[in-house]
Structure 1
Amino acid sequence: MTVKSKKAAKLTLFALTWPIFIEIFLHMLMGNADTLMLSQYDDNAVASVGVSNQLINVIIVMFGFIATGTSILIAQYIGAKQEQDANKIAVVSIIANLIFGVLLSFILFIFAPSILKAMNIPAELMDNSLIYLRIVGGFAFIQALIMTVAAIIRSHGFTKDAMYVTIGMNFINVIGNYLFIFGPFGLPVLGVTGVAISTTISRCIGLIAMFAVLRYRIKGQLPYSFLFKAFPKVELKKLLKIGIPSAGEHLSYNTSQIAITYFIASMGTIALTTKVYTQNIMMFILLFSIAIGQGTQILIGHYVGAEKLEEAYHRCLKSLKIAIFVSLGMGVLFSIFSRPFLGIFTDNPDIISLGFTLILLTIILEPGRAFNLVVINCLRAAGDVKYPVYVGILSMWGVAVTLSYILGVVFGLGLIGVWIAFIVDEWLRGLLMLRRWKSRKWVEMSFVSTKSEAS
């Protein structure tokens, strides 16, 4: 079987989505392994890592604007059978995210103390948060490259390859956590520092593996030499045209979450720790919609590049129905077993009781979030990247942040008020995104012309 026929065989939603599902599941396990293992060490350490990771996630979103543009452009170019142009985009995206990643990692390392103080972090969490933020954040550029190379591999249809690399990364991370947290064989117990070192080492090894997969799959066709002939103005402009608006939507979400975390921090360490544990559990519900959304994005990109617009339109709606049904079912299932799940992380009855209520509210929250995760990915893949940003900023800040403060702080509902704000925000944005997709305004927004630019 040729490489092309292998690709063609993989371009179905299920074939694309299940490896993405496993990969995201394992990424979540990496974060949960840190949380679960640290919970045996100290609840405050868990809260410290949770807060630091939220800041690091904002930086990762910044890296994502190149990766998102890469994924969409390569999918559209492959759909249009312009693989030389797709390879040029791959090269530009790798170099651009390397430069950008090193810059942001340096900034995060230097300004970590000031950022944590600005977030109103409780004094008992400050030292561990700073350690984790400086180690993992200082090497965040590694994650930038992993995201970029993985986006290239997935857009070619090889979603299983990225999954295999992630399996290896998780295995290394868990082993490292065990060694550094529990100190077997006389090794020193390093706690949060050890978790940070383990996370960084596993990502470095994962990056090496990703580049090996890329070299094997693309067969050495990436034209790095063309960068020395002329500045890649056309390719970079297209990446930024997609990536900056897409990053704007993600950045708005993550910064709004930081603002909400600021409110939660004022409620005390128990509220902050409950949020971390509950969201760790919720992510296992969320990952179904994330995987369906990412798999659908690849398909929509290929369809739009090949000018199969009706197939693209109906594919989005079918994927949305699947995501809503699955997320609702998983929300009910996890709510039934929420107390035992929370008991894995902590034996604090206050945390377990509050977390149980929050997971019940998740039954309403997650179907609304499914709209955003699927339909927004479809809009981006079709070239409609600005509308989700405009609506997202207005809703995240005007609804989620504002209502979180009013309900959670002013009315004293605490985390329950924050979760209600999340529900209103997700459903409002989701329904507006569906309306946009059905309007078909995205039909004329493809980034790829029918004539190859390689010549």
Structure 2
Amino acid sequence: MLNPKIKQILKLSIPAAVNNFFDMFQLIIDMIMLGRVSPASIAAVGVSMQFIGLLYAIMSVFNVGVSAIVSRYIGAKDKENAEKTVFNVAFISFLFSIPITILSFLYPEIIFKFMNTSEEVKENGIIYLRILSITFPMLFIEAVLYSSLNAASDTKTPLKIGIFANIINTILDYILIFGKFGFEPLGVKGAAIATTTAYIISFLIYLYLFLSKKLILSLHFKLDKEIIKKSLKIGIPSGIERAITYGSFLVFVKLIAEYGTYTLAGYQIGLRIEGLAFMPGFGFTIAAMALVGQNLGAKNPEEAEKSAILTAKIAAIFMGFMGLFMIFIPEYIALIFTDDKKTIEEASLYLKIVGISQIPLAITFVLSGALRSAGATKTTLFINGFSLWVLRIIPAYILSKIFGNILYIYLAMTFETYIKALILYYIFKKGDWKWIKI
């Protein structure tokens, strides 16, 4: 029989992991279907999603802030202030999304010029990103609502919404990309319309549930400057950290793009497959954030530490198991996305290398999330910023120039993952995060 603590962790993490899987699945469906169109279509959507990743980094200013504060209020059994926090953070995130939406809609070509993609990839990517940009304000608000539910230990509601949105996306992808049931085949444009529609429906469901007070939390419509200041104080370092992280990913992709469209397409497929292995890690990260925040709110820091360490151990087992598939059968997994032999070879090389780093990656996910939930966002900002640029990007660039082989770029990435996991474990066990006041 399972230990009650393990059962609690699994109860929180499994729905969150499955929901994250469906978020990834939505993109995977796009790429699988577009893989039957052309490698350039895959690359275009993949590069677009790198930008969306940067967008989610900016959203983390609000997501981490609302998660840390709401989880503490829930632990302290102060529901009114928890609900007030949700409304205030959602409101400020919406205001912040407006200029980003306008710039993304008017000038989507900037990202593809920066990535130095081929003209065909750029043309397809502009179409995809411009259509998707109209949903950005909704994505900002939904991310806050989603994070607040997770912080309150409700990971099942986001899962149900995610499943429904994915069904919509999959059906529309099939109809619009290939032109079924009398529709004109739209390729990348069809994928963008399908994903946009799914995002809109998902947002409307969240909004209805919060407004109808059918969930553990609702919206308390009262502006509070102190709550906004508090959330930004916690969230801004996390947002900077995520922006640095995804900015480094963009630079990383730029290095890879120099090896040609097939290598870039293979990397994007490999990244999506690795993303499936991330899902348990993300789920356990959400569990760790909720448990750490709630235990700190209940004035029980020792239990917060024990919960985070146990969560990291379970996450390492799950992600290590996923890593075995990436090491031993990468070709068969890549075949799901494309039948292009060269692209499969490139994707397989990436998967074999990163498969060996899944266990330290799990530790990195969980302990970073635990530290953020405790309010130690400046600490994670420094560790992740230093690690990504000094231990990953710079060595990858130097090795690429010396050897001219993509293998060394991937090896640099794997080395950095191991070192960062060790640093985070040391900082977490040191325990200074237990006494941070929010």
For the Cα contact (< 8 Å) 2:39–2:261, is it kept in 1? no
2:295 to 299, 303, 327: 303
For the Cα contact (< 8 Å) 2:20–2:283, is it kept in 1? yes
Which residue number in structure 2 is paired with residue 256 of structure 1? 248
Shift of residue 92, structure 1, vs aligned partner:
0.3
* Distance verdict in 2 for CA 1:274–1:239, change over 3 Å: same
Shift of residue 327, structure 1, vs aligned partner:
1.4
Shift of residue 334, structure 1, vs aligned partner:
3.3
**3-state secondary structure, aligned to 1:62:** helix
Between 97-106 and 332-341, report the one with greater CA deviation.
332-341
Which residue number in structure 2 is paired with residue 71 of structure 1? 67
* Distance verdict in 2 for CA 1:403–1:178, change over 3 Å: same
**How far, CA to CA, are the matches of 1:11 and 1:181 in structure 2?**
42
Match of 2:346, as an amino acid?
L
- Deviations along 1:244-273, one digit per CA (max 9) or x if unpaired, are 111111111100010111111111101100
Which residue number in structure 2 is paired with residue 111 of structure 1? 107
Shift of residue 221, structure 1, vs aligned partner:
5.3
Is residue 343 of structure 2 the alignment partner of residue 351 of structure 1? yes
Which residue number in structure 2 is paired with residue 3 of structure 1? none
- Deviations along 1:44-79, one digit per CA (max 9) or x if unpaired, are 111111011111221122122101111111001110
Is residue 237 of structure 2 the alignment partner of residue 245 of structure 1? yes
* Distance verdict in 2 for CA 1:213–1:198, change over 3 Å: same
Query: After the TM superposition, which residues 393-432 of structure 1 pair with which residues of structure 2 at under 5 Å, given as runs?
Result: 393-414=385-406, 416-432=407-423
Match of 2:220, as an amino acid?
P
For the Cα contact (< 8 Å) 1:304–1:446, is it kept in 2? no
Which residue number in structure 2 is paired with residue 319 of structure 1? 311
**How far, CA to CA, are the matches of 1:34 and 1:221 in structure 2?**
33
* Distance verdict in 2 for CA 1:303–1:130, change over 3 Å: same
**How far, CA to CA, are the matches of 1:84 and 1:190 in structure 2?**
48
Which residue number in structure 1 is paired with residue 18 of structure 2? 22
Which residue number in structure 1 is paired with residue 437 of structure 2? 446
Which residue number in structure 1 is paired with residue 179 of structure 2? 183
**How far, CA to CA, are the matches of 2:144 and 2:104 in structure 1?**
20
Shift of residue 24, structure 1, vs aligned partner:
0.5
For the Cα contact (< 8 Å) 1:392–1:429, is it kept in 2? yes
- Deviations along 1:181-240, one digit per CA (max 9) or x if unpaired, are 11112211111111111111111110111122223335885321x22xxxx221011111
Pairwise CA RMSD of aligned residues? 1.8
- Deviations along 1:266-308, one digit per CA (max 9) or x if unpaired, are 1110110010111111111121111111111101110010011
Which residue number in structure 2 is paired with residue 379 of structure 1? 371
Shift of residue 407, structure 1, vs aligned partner:
2.0
- Deviations along 1:15-46, one digit per CA (max 9) or x if unpaired, are 11111011001111101000001111112111
Query: After the TM superposition, which residues 18-417 of structure 1 pair with which residues of structure 2 at under 5 Å, given as runs?
Result: 18-214=14-210, 215-218=212-215, 222-224=219-221, 226-227=222-223, 232-414=224-406, 416-417=407-408
For the Cα contact (< 8 Å) 2:262–2:346, is it kept in 1? no
**How far, CA to CA, are the matches of 2:214 and 2:423 in structure 1?**
39
Match of 1:127, as an amino acid?
E
For the Cα contact (< 8 Å) 1:98–1:141, is it kept in 2? yes
**How far, CA to CA, are the matches of 2:82 and 2:429 in structure 1?**
29
**3-state secondary structure, aligned to 1:344:** coil
Shift of residue 170, structure 1, vs aligned partner:
0.3
Match of 1:418, as an amino acid?
I
For the Cα contact (< 8 Å) 1:395–1:429, is it kept in 2? yes
Shift of residue 419, structure 1, vs aligned partner:
1.3
Identity of aligned residues (%): 26
Gaps of 5+ in 1: 1-7, 448-455
Shift of residue 403, structure 1, vs aligned partner:
1.7
Between 247-256 and 356-365, report the one with greater CA deviation.
356-365
**How far, CA to CA, are the matches of 1:330 and 1:9 in structure 2?**
23
For the Cα contact (< 8 Å) 1:365–1:422, is it kept in 2? no
For the Cα contact (< 8 Å) 2:149–2:216, is it kept in 1? no
For the Cα contact (< 8 Å) 1:64–1:144, is it kept in 2? no
**How far, CA to CA, are the matches of 1:124 and 1:291 in structure 2?**
36
Between 9-18 and 419-428, report the one with greater CA deviation.
9-18
Match of 2:285, as an amino acid?
G
For the Cα contact (< 8 Å) 1:66–1:97, is it kept in 2? yes
Match of 1:90, as an amino acid?
V
Shift of residue 11, structure 1, vs aligned partner:
9.0
For the Cα contact (< 8 Å) 1:375–1:434, is it kept in 2? yes
* Distance verdict in 2 for CA 1:59–1:42, change over 3 Å: same
Which residue number in structure 1 is paired with residue 428 of structure 2? 437
Match of 1:223, as an amino acid?
H
Match of 2:129, as an amino acid?
L
- Say how many residue pairs are matched: 434
For the Cα contact (< 8 Å) 1:10–1:16, is it kept in 2? no
**How far, CA to CA, are the matches of 1:213 and 1:290 in structure 2?**
24
**How far, CA to CA, are the matches of 1:65 and 1:169 in structure 2?**
25
**How far, CA to CA, are the matches of 1:378 and 1:248 in structure 2?**
17
**3-state secondary structure, aligned to 2:77:** coil
Match of 2:214, as an amino acid?
R
**3-state secondary structure, aligned to 1:243:** helix
Shift of residue 333, structure 1, vs aligned partner:
2.5
